[in-house]
Structure 1
């Protein structure tokens, strides 16, 4: 299989605001074999206050843990909310964005990522030579 194999899944995220209702926005979860420890969650420009697309990157391990129990202490925090929802909190200088996602959808995504790169085998998909070469090139 090519090194750039990717798992993407469209999800409906329910944005939690101070208003009593929650707005549903599109988002995309992404997992790439070439970055085997990370998951990305992208929001289109229409879903953000600034009107620009936003992409958060965090560890697959954090997402796996957060589906089962509260996890994360930094910019991304994840916790279960009942049996069928998971809350993701994204902390930035401008404030906190909170979204509810379907836990079954997250588990499906994580299962697809696990099929692509089994847990514990992430190191087999790192290209350290390429990463070092890129660091040296960018240092000039």
Structure 2
């Protein structure tokens, strides 16, 4: 049976920005080099890459809507939780309860990046940027 034609995907759009963050420990706030990225092929999420002293960086995916909500009030699900902090900061709790890391970053800087992603892929248009073909092919086999 012939397949209906598939609308072409828009060209991929990508943003990456270095961002200063701090790992909060009981004794200190330790600066961490990070890069926050976005690709329209995964239009709902930001990737936060923590460049640690280990061989491989650690990457967390964070919902872009959650970042905007977390700038105003505590929010989160599963292993990602965000909440505003004093001094224009945002706290990210990453990992399972009891074994998590708390990271602090500039709330305005992260929110500005999310707004830039919304200019690339407006709310409500995300699904038109996802390549569904691999999923559909796996369902047919």
Tell me the TM-score normalized by structure 1.
0.83
Residue 77 of structure 1: which of 76, 81, 87 is its match? 81
Where does residue 123 of structure 1 map in the other structure? 127
Gaps of 5+ in 1: none
Is contact 1:5-1:32 (8 Å) kept?
Answer: yes
Between Structure 1 and Structure 2, the one with more helix by share is 1
Task: Find the partner of 1:34 among 26, 41, 46.
Answer: 41
* Structure with bigger gyration radius: 2
1:80 to partner: Cα distance: 0.5
**Unpaired runs of 5+ in structure 2?**
1-8
Corresponding residue for 1:43?
A: 50
Quick one: structure 1 residues 70 and 18, their matched pair in 2 at CA, closer, same or farther if it must change by over 3 Å?
same
CA-CA distance at 1:62 after TM superposition: 1.4
Length-normalised TM-score, structure 2 = 0.83
Structural RMSD (CA):
2.3
Q: How does 1:88-99 map to 2 (within 5 A)?
A: 88-92=92-96, 95-99=99-103
Structure 1 stretches of 4+ moved >6 Å: none
Describe how 1:5-20 pairs up with structure 2 within 5 A.
5-19=13-27
